[in-house]
Structure 1
């Protein structure tokens, strides 16, 4: 932080943590909502912060093609485990995290993705080692913070949010063939 920054920005920037939304940041910093919004807007303009969607378990996320080259990026491999692991847990290896990322699907919410990753089965070849249907140890799934796991992928650009909207396919009524 630069000592010449605006006073509002100086107060706001302390609460930008990847989890707080703009209104919450303004409440924590004890600044007017409009001034806080402008401060965040300035931080965005100068690329000091990036905006990500508010995390919800009902959201759907999918991998982008850029995962191919990021999978071999040493910087991502080093940064990801520490960022996504819950305090007090051993960070999973990058291949294990990559396997979890690869299971994100266009048709599955984060909640259902976590449920399928956390459900335990045993394989016929090794009935003593529990695995999820995804082939991932339940200990690994329980050691990550889902919000940080998804936000890391979004920030690095290899995960995107899939948006869904209802679409009216046909409307038959009194007004003619197309209903209009």
Structure 2
């Protein structure tokens, strides 16, 4: 596979993964944080699972075809991209990404093993998950995305926050 095709896969899996996440959040917000009916739960869980799968494809393609299975290269690439944005050459975000992948896999497994009818989880866990995901996606957009994406990401984040606040009333 050429690096150009790999880049297309890396970029589009990231975009589709975020779309799955946003659609899941819309279901959650429309349903009052935690979808109450099994059909909404099933749709949200399926989007969550597909998003996780896309994220794993994204990571695999980036590591294989962009970084050529060289973790030091991936770390340096992350450090260079981070330095361009915040002025600090730090590649540690790659380890945060590893933890994020493990957590997402865990959360998908947790949701499938507990079933949709028992998917109610503490609100603190639910909002921590969404806070972490929003933080990761926003940071990835800022560090790795094209500059114009920030003008899309920030209003989307603001709309999600506004929707959450309006649901609390």
Q: TM-score, normalised by structure 2?
A: 0.29
Q: Which has the larger radius of gyration?
A: 1
Q: TM-score, normalised by structure 1?
A: 0.28
